[in-house]
Structure 1
């Protein structure tokens, strides 16, 4: 299938809108990512790490203010709706937001420019269409299930699905930027710009006299999501068009879909696993409990962001090393475990020391979540102790077995939540999450060793598992 990339790109994004959107970020990325291969991955991880630090601070401040403005009940409703939309929006990419990180470096290395142009354009169109269809089905599903849903959730969930296409497109654009090592383009919109805009729009709506409730917060989120994603689309498209010469393109959609589907399963299981506790608390307990648990988990984000920052920086380098460089891959993979573990351990101690005064900022009732941190932090550190194993498996073509590991872990997590939440409440959710993360870390590390012969464990020598 061949047609003009310039024509298609013109249809997809009006050229007049693509003027002067990203000169500052472009210059910064050009300065940061021009050295040798390992240095490039390391710098991308450092930039991602820095963005995650700032993001964690912004997210914490914004969530504190939202909780103070709305109160725990309305805040709990908003939290459950927003977490659900972020999960579904990510899954609506159907794996393309990660598979492009694998295909783009490969096509560039092999000089397959027609295929490169094809995946850049086709992936955006596919994700936008798929996510819009899923959003429509989601709204219909909520409306049909309204008799079985608590009344205070129905309208917020129907409003929330409006965000889905833009959340999905933003995740895909993040993948396109990561495939080119544009760390600022990849992470800034989602982790810096969008939360600031949500807070700004919420403040403006409250100043204009709107009620301080979940619906107002969701309207602010819709406006912020669309503004952020459309700007991100303009910036990424502008850079891609400068780097990829115009010409015909080939679309191998069936091949891309076959590779993306297992990745979709991996990402689905990972995202659900990461957020299953919040969703399960929402299913079994009232919005006040959801608010307390979510605030506790948000405090833990200071530890989580280390893992995600390293993952964002190394996935593209994993993909390049898998093409005939097993020794470099093994050495680099072992190095990324240290990048993940030691900063995570440091941040874990910091969170435990400051957790209670941080939670009291949300409101006096939120301090009941502080003891949960001591249990939850074990799971987070256990995950950090094996590094970004799932990225290594996915980028090396072992996405199927990675999906199977996550499926088992998710089933284990949900089963524990079903049993433990009715018995122990929020403690049950925390126990289920910690045990599931420890199981996940062990299973992924073992799988990497069996499939690739690489020992991904911080205290195990490189040949210790043999």
Structure 2
């Protein structure tokens, strides 16, 4: 080992590199700080959520807990879809308006995107309530009232989602992630504790009622905080609303988001339909235990998307290639380390939910293979969406989603939660392979955690 390497690995060298990351104003250092902040927030959120879900599982029992999880998954799925892609599009439009010094367009998007998102979610919620009113007799009775509460939750969930995208575009990770990932779960946990103390029935209805209160309160707090900080960044003035342009551009991003969310929750939804609520609860606990791995990917993506857009608009291919490779390395190596650690401690974590939850331990190994495949290509789908290739990105996610559905329908009846885990892992691996191939072919960029950042020739 040379002298330079020894210096870098010495305690003094490590401290110096850490200090450089904290003080350097380069885009990569800023992105590392944003990703690090996002990761810390998600880990804190996971700890809060883990405690709350352990308590809820023990208070409610696996059957009621499984019902609550199934309904909340619908909130997550429809919430991310109902924003019409505007949450992610914010990280494209805000840097673009800023690069062009288009203040009227910037003000219009910040205000208009939130209005459009809430209106779209309200329409979706209204249609959902209409379906429940007309066909409620076909829904299992324990699911009916929680689904009604889920519809009430939806509009303000979507507002939070869009405000997340706005705040990320300014590197305000605290305002982007703090409210939905810290304030909301704390309020949910507090609501359940209060309900338990008041002697309310510990069932899915009580849990969803607490979720509605937590979601609405969080959205209002986040709105107020963002407006205060925007006042110092965006001067007051006229707004130019280009709703048609925004929605046309975000349509393909919407499909990417829709397929991404569908792929994320297909296993849980189909497991609920094809198996028991108890098995859903066990599988959910196993998947949530692996959340630390997914948080790394999420955190890097949160820091990278608007930088991809900025470099693409500026035509700076060299910086784009270098930043892509850096973001892949930031994703893969920490994900690998986290996977090894979590799998080593998986059984004790699952025991916290109850003795029966250890049955989900083998599924953790299978799902982790898919998560590592996704980590190996980093947030490359954000690059495609921010550089005008959102259409082909949507096709890739559509193919992965279709694969997951088909495999779940085939494997779950025979193998239960292991079938769901296998279907998810295969779909994630297919998604990663296709993203790797398309990015090299369309953009001519190297996509791997070991490659140099030099661009490769496009086909």
Bucket of the pairwise TM-score, normalised by the shorter protein: over 0.9
1:143-189 deviation digits (Å, cap 9, x = unpaired): 32323322211111111111100110000000110111101110111
Counterpart position of 1:15: none
Counterpart position of 1:329: 320
Counterpart position of 2:13: none
Task: Sort the Cα spacing of 1:462 and 1:237 in 2 relative to 1 into closer, same or farther, 3 A.
Answer: closer
1:68-113 deviation digits (Å, cap 9, x = unpaired): 1111000000000011111101111101111111111111121101
**Contact (CA 8 Å) 2:321, 2:453: kept in 1 or not?**
no
- Tell whether 2:325 aligns with 1:338: no
**Contact (CA 8 Å) 1:33, 1:44: kept in 2 or not?**
no
* TM-fit CA distance, 1:254: 1.1
**Contact (CA 8 Å) 1:76, 1:288: kept in 2 or not?**
yes
Task: Sort the Cα spacing of 1:389 and 1:284 in 2 relative to 1 into closer, same or farther, 3 A.
Answer: same
TM (norm. structure 1) is 0.91
**Counterpart-to-counterpart distance in 2, 1:102 and 1:464:** 22
Secondary structure in 1 aligned to 2:290?
Answer: helix
- Tell whether 2:381 aligns with 1:390: yes
Counterpart position of 2:221: 231
| 1:290 aligned residue (259, 264, 280) | 280
**Counterpart-to-counterpart distance in 1, 2:350 and 2:287:** 10
Q: 333-342 or 44-53, which moves further after superposition?
A: 44-53
**Counterpart-to-counterpart distance in 2, 1:125 and 1:457:** 39
| 1:171 aligned residue (161, 165, 177) | 161
**Contact (CA 8 Å) 1:393, 1:402: kept in 2 or not?**
yes
**Counterpart-to-counterpart distance in 2, 1:463 and 1:438:** 25
- Tell whether 2:217 aligns with 1:222: no
**Contact (CA 8 Å) 2:325, 2:451: kept in 1 or not?**
no
* TM-fit CA distance, 1:380: 0.7
**Counterpart-to-counterpart distance in 2, 1:38 and 1:356:** 37
Counterpart position of 1:369: 360
Matched length: 436
**Counterpart-to-counterpart distance in 2, 1:299 and 1:427:** 16
**Contact (CA 8 Å) 1:143, 1:154: kept in 2 or not?**
no
1:236-292 deviation digits (Å, cap 9, x = unpaired): 112112211111121111111101111100000001111111111111112111111
TM (norm. structure 2) is 0.92
| 1:263 aligned residue (238, 244, 253) | 253
Counterpart position of 2:12: none
- Tell whether 2:303 aligns with 1:274: no
* TM-fit CA distance, 1:336: 0.7
Counterpart position of 1:9: none
Counterpart position of 2:444: 453
**Contact (CA 8 Å) 2:22, 2:29: kept in 1 or not?**
no
* TM-fit CA distance, 1:310: 0.5
Secondary structure in 2 aligned to 1:242?
Answer: coil
1:189-227 deviation digits (Å, cap 9, x = unpaired): 111111111001111011111001111001111111111
Equivalent residues in 2 for 1:38-77, closer than 5 Å: 38-77=28-67
Counterpart position of 1:311: 301
**Contact (CA 8 Å) 1:93, 1:172: kept in 2 or not?**
yes
1:392-450 deviation digits (Å, cap 9, x = unpaired): 11111111110010001100110000111111111110110111111111111111111
Q: Cα RMSD between the aligned structures?
A: 1.6
* TM-fit CA distance, 1:32: 7.5
Counterpart position of 1:419: 410
Secondary structure in 1 aligned to 2:240?
Answer: coil
| 2:351 aligned residue (342, 360, 376) | 360
Counterpart position of 1:82: 72
**Counterpart-to-counterpart distance in 1, 2:370 and 2:452:** 22
**Contact (CA 8 Å) 2:318, 2:454: kept in 1 or not?**
no
Runs of 5+ in structure 1 lacking a partner?
Answer: 1-30
| 2:111 aligned residue (121, 144, 157) | 121
**Counterpart-to-counterpart distance in 2, 1:328 and 1:373:** 37
Counterpart position of 2:432: 441
- Tell whether 2:342 aligns with 1:351: yes
| 1:151 aligned residue (141, 145, 152) | 141
1:38-90 deviation digits (Å, cap 9, x = unpaired): 22212111111111221222221111111111110000000000111111011
* TM-fit CA distance, 1:391: 0.6
**Counterpart-to-counterpart distance in 1, 2:225 and 2:345:** 38
**Contact (CA 8 Å) 2:439, 2:447: kept in 1 or not?**
yes
**Counterpart-to-counterpart distance in 1, 2:173 and 2:22:** 9
**Contact (CA 8 Å) 1:33, 1:181: kept in 2 or not?**
no
| 1:210 aligned residue (194, 197, 200) | 200
